[in-house]
Structure 1
Amino acid sequence: MTTPTDTIGTQLPQPDPRGWLVFDRLPAELQDAEDSTQDNDVRYYRESWHYRGPTYHRPATAAERTLLEHLGYVLPDDLRTRVQFVTDNVRNRRWPALELQNPTTEGE
């Protein structure tokens, strides 16, 4: 991602049922990447829920990595995203490898 992170909006209050990466605005390039990831996650969930259930893991996307670094997290090279559909329409993303970290900034 080459998007400047100074145009990322404020993180919405936490906890949020959707996870950490919820902002009041994103630059177009990041928003497009996040929308594409959500579309792919929804498609994967709907095609595989009957044998995988509502939760699965995948590699973190470049946009997720950019946003997590913006929040101050130090990321491992092999970061994986835990995707869980809390309901059919609410996707929660978590990063178990980061949950014990205290981010170095507030992302504002």
Structure 2
Amino acid sequence: MDVLEKAHEMEREGIHIIHLEVGEPDFDTPQCVKAAACKALEDGHTHYTHSLGLLELRTAICEHYFFTYNVSIDPDQIIITSGTSPAMFLLFSVLIEKNDQV
């Protein structure tokens, strides 16, 4: 049975389901993102980055959390992923053990 079909069946039975299937944004890519992507390509930034993500980005995220929430985070505590699915895979691989019910 298709996973989404099973999820809908469980919802009809009153079971709360958190949907994590592949999504399609319902909005266009912002122009500033398109421009940044084009500039990165033109500047030759076409290779893989560090597996945790760019240090500059992780540092900026830490600064945001400090100024917004007054929370100190080390850049080594931040992981940048290419989307939600890889992040969830990493999270689940750490938290879920053999024979856990999911």
TM-score range, shorter chain: under 0.3
Structure with the larger strand share: 1
Higher RCO by CA contacts (8 Å cutoff, separation 6 or greater)? 1
Structure with the larger helix share: 2
Give the TM-score taking structure 2 as reference length: 0.26
Give the TM-score taking structure 1 as reference length: 0.25
